[in-house]
Chain A
Amino acid sequence: KAGVTQTPRYLIKTRGQQVTLSCSPISGHRSVSWYQQTPGQGLQFLFEYFSETQRNKGNFPGRFSGRQFSNSRSEMNVSTLELGDSALYLCASSPDPGQTNYGYTFGSGTRLTVV
């Protein structure tokens, strides 16, 4: 069974640009969550999608957005990049919100560097 696939693995962008990150969950998983990980802030919840609907959102500015497609693949977008957006972005999949005790399966992440 394939794991959670995140692309690209590494990305370098310039301030002011925008970026799109992709996540393909485990086959059969319908819930995708996104986290930002930085040395200073740790793991910060961005948002969670289930059945193409955003069900939960963290405290991030509107520059951060996401979506989920009918095949459960998800993308997140960050517009007008700032230096502080440099981070490891992690995607996590789970079967569905009803199985809350499942735990997440994480992808390897996308390392975004903003210069």
Chain B
Amino acid sequence: AQSVTQLGSHVSVSEGALVLLRCNYSSSVPPYLFWYVQYPNQGLQLLLKYTSAATLVKGINGFEAEFKKSETSFHLTKPSAHMSDAAEYFCAVMNSGGYQKVTFGTGTKLQVIP
């Protein structure tokens, strides 16, 4: 079985401050990990993905995430928040080694305060 846990359903940061959204996963085999972003009344957009290559993954809009196997974590960061980053962010896991469905976390809503 696979699962992800996102700590904090709501996170507020000031514009220009560091963004840190937490994700811990559980997987019986090496996982593939993803971060998606959702703007109001829209579908989800892929921000970045870890697929067993480099542990530090860079994505779109200045976001990056680091895969830490020892901590079973895949936290999303951005050095400086922008107002346009306000959205809901979802961490997701898929087991590697054959087709498996993707399991999503419960999401973290990011508020950026001017």
**A and B part of one assembly:** yes
Knowing A42-B104, A90-B44, A108-B43, say if A101 contacts B99 (CB, 8 Å): no
17 additional A-B residue pairs with CB within 8 Å, beyond A104-B36, A111-B41: A35-B104, A42-B105, A42-B107, A43-B90, A43-B104, A43-B107, A45-B102, A48-B101, A92-B44, A98-B99, A100-B94, A100-B100, A101-B49, A104-B44, A106-B43, A106-B45, A108-B42
Interface of A is mostly: strand
Contacts of A104 in B (CB 8 A): 36, 44, 46, 102
The interface on chain B, measured as residues whose beta carbon lies within 8 A of the other chain's beta carbons, has a size of 25
Is B27 positioned at the interface, with any CB of A under 8 Å from its CB? no
| B46 contact from A100, A105, A108, Cβ within 8 A | A105
Is A25 positioned at the interface, with any CB of B under 8 Å from its CB? no
Is B5 positioned at the interface, with any CB of A under 8 Å from its CB? no
**Distance in Å from the Cβ of A11 to the closest Cβ of chain B?**
14
Contacts of B98 in A (CB 8 A): 100
Q: What mask results when residues 21 to 47 of chain A are scored 1 for a CB within 8 Å of chain B, else 0?
A: 000000000000101000000110100
Q: How many A-B residue pairs have CB under 8 A?
A: 58
Contact A100 B32 (CB under 8 A): yes
Contact A103 B34 (CB under 8 A): yes
Is A4 positioned at the interface, with any CB of B under 8 Å from its CB? yes
Q: In residues 62-104 of chain A, which contact B (Cβ within 8 Å)?
A: 90, 92, 97-98, 100-101, 103-104
- With CB as the reference atom, state the residue of chain A lying closest to B6: A42
